[in-house]
Amino acid sequence: MSGDLGLADEPTGDEFADDPAFPEQDEPETETRRGVTAKGVVVAGARTVAGLVGIGVAAVTIAAAVLLPLPTISSTPASMLVTPVPTAQQLVCAGSVLRLADDSGEGATTVSALGSPDLRAEASEGRVSTTAVEVSDASTGGTSSAPAVVSTPPSAAGATESALVSGAQSELVNEGDFVGLAAADCAVPNGDSWLAGGSTAVGRTTLLSLTNPSEVPATVNLEIFGEDGKVTAPGTSGIIVPANGQRVLSLAGFQPDIVSPVVHVKSTGGQVSATLQQATVRTLTPGGLDIVSSVPALATDTVIPGVVITGLDAVQALRKGGDPQFDDVETAVRVFAPGEGTVSLTVTVTPEDGAETGTSFQVDVDAGRVTDVPIEQLATGSYTVGITSSAPVVGSVRVTSAVGQTTDFAWFTAASPLATAAQVTAAPGPNPVLHLANPGTAAADVVVAGTDGTSRTVTVPAAASALVSLSAGETYSLTGFRLLYASVTLADAGMIAGYSVRPPGVGSGPILIYP
């Protein structure tokens, strides 16, 4: 049937007339209905009107509830503003220069120390305590050769800012194949850091030091990258660093012949301080050594102040022979961006003495691979190197100093931005110089005040740098600026080293507490 929805026709009752299941029923008696009187009509009408009125009242009530604004009831929960007292600050210093082998040259897998560093530390208020970690793979636990933990007591009650604390160490080594100057600052331990430096090529030894100053073990996972991409090797995850202890690992144990390594360190449990130590030997000739400090984060604007070029003629003479062993004496920027694709870089090299002999260039690098970009034709002097990138990177600069056939090198790492105030300790060593880089659009008058009572004001021009000579082993406060980058270098007679100035530890801010 057209338009049929699938429903059967309704029954009429005739189809059940002869069905035994439905016996015939007597016809019902006819009901006699009375007529409706006038009074009934009135009563019925009244009831109908009352019902309609009730419905109308209900409708009006509902409409009023919807249309009329509800009263606003508000209350402020009980709370209190509490400013906690700043806690003690803690820094970790790298400890002595290390080597693979003992004093007799045996035990190629045994880590041992070469002397002890000269360490200085100071706080803007209160006492500073320096203690050696108790456990070390280099068997230096509890000695002056072990990594040191620098700490200050909590600030006085009512203080809203933490005391400024800083420390730095240096060590001049002249023992067999190990000849050079190494310096490093004391750093705040971190759960996530990056290291750009070192090499595991022939004649290059690079050791990774992990120091855990906390009272609980730390579990560390490593990511190692090189010029060919990520290194896949056993033993890079689940590394246990004992409480108040140091682990030392050879990068060549994960993969040899990496010319340009970058290491990403992540820890859980306790936080760790990570450093690299590189030593170079060319055939039987020592090629220098250095400690590479870590940086806490990648950045699209990287600033590396205090890149010192010295002994340039001697360095260039080493390269003229064409010996591939000296390929790494040239000044180079090491850069790495994780991920995939192409990263565009603009590298700017600005003289710190205001001369016009700097340079700037652009280069594209592959993400996921470490790239060393040579910087040629730089005159003797000091420079600030800036790296602007299309993706976050970690960067550093390698320089070489030489006197005759004796060479040393340094890895200058990226500096963290300083805001309003900082403190720096000049490591004991030759000719310490403070390098101040001002990225702003206005000049900064930086007050450099020593703990010995000396003070001077240094004007750092906008988008330029300034140099300040320091006294070895002294500590200085830096104030009078809004944004600054800084580093310290030591250099003399073919020896070179340096480290960046880190911002102070996090202070205590007000906290709103709801009971």
Q: How many CA atoms lie within 13 A of 353 on its CB side?
A: 9
Most distant CA pair in the chain, distance: 137
What CA–CA distance (Å, rounded) separates 316 from 197? 22
The neighbour count for residue 431, using CB atoms within 10 Å, is: 13
Q: Which residues are 361's β-sheet partners?
A: 347
Contact 309, 401 (CB under 8 A): no
Per DSSP (E only), the strands in 143-230 are 148-151, 165-175, 178-185, 192-196, 204-212, 218-226, 229-230
- Tokens of residue 278, six digits: 């590189």
Dump pLDDT digits (tens) for 380-432. Answer: 999 999 999 999 999 999 999 999 878 999 999 999 999 989 999 999 999 99
Rounded mean pLDDT, 301-326: 91
Rounded mean pLDDT, 162-172: 93
Rounded mean pLDDT, 451-473: 95
What CA–CA distance (Å, rounded) separates 148 from 131? 5
Percentage with pLDDT > 90 across the chain: 68
Q: What is the DSSP letter of 33?
A: P
Sign of CA dihedral 31, 35, 41, 42: negative
Q: Is the pLDDT of residue 297 over 90?
A: yes
Q: Which residues are 410's β-sheet partners?
A: 399
Pairing label, strands 135-136, 245-250: parallel
Phi and psi (nearest 5°) for 402?
A: -145, 145
CA 411 to chain centre: 18
Among residues 482, 501, 505, 329, the alpha carbon closest in space to that of 414 is found at: 501
Among 76-80, 163-167, 264-268, 492-496, where is mean pLDDT lowest? 76-80
Instruction: Look at residue 163 and give its three-state secondary structure.
Output: coil
Instruction: Look at residue 296 and give its three-state secondary structure.
Output: coil
- Tokens of residue 404, six digits: 């005759």
Dump pLDDT digits (tens) for 216-228. Answer: 999 999 999 999 9
**510 or 227, which is more confident:** 227
- Tokens of residue 192, six digits: 């996530």
Which H or E run includes 284?
Answer: none
The neighbour count for residue 115, using CB atoms within 10 Å, is: 15
Q: What pLDDT does residue 89 have?
A: 83
Sign of CA dihedral 97, 310, 353, 385: negative
The neighbour count for residue 436, using CB atoms within 10 Å, is: 27
Contact 352, 383 (CB under 8 A): yes
Dump pLDDT digits (tens) for 339-383. Answer: 999 999 999 999 998 776 788 999 999 999 999 999 987 889 999
Among residues 269, 277, 293, the alpha carbon closest in space to that of 220 is found at: 269
Phi and psi (nearest 5°) for 245?
A: -145, 175
Q: How many CA atoms lie within 13 A of 174 on its CB side?
A: 4
Which H or E run includes 70?
Answer: none
Q: Which residues are 363's β-sheet partners?
A: 345
Q: What pLDDT does residue 80 have?
A: 61
Percentage with pLDDT > 70 across the chain: 78
Q: Is the pLDDT of residue 513 over 60?
A: no
Among residues 474, 472, 473, 497, the alpha carbon closest in space to that of 487 is found at: 497
Q: Is the pLDDT of residue 53 over 60?
A: no
Among 12-16, 253-257, 274-278, 291-295, where is mean pLDDT lowest? 12-16
Among 40-44, 144-148, 239-243, 430-434, where is mean pLDDT lowest? 40-44
- Ranges of H-type helices in 257-363: 312-320
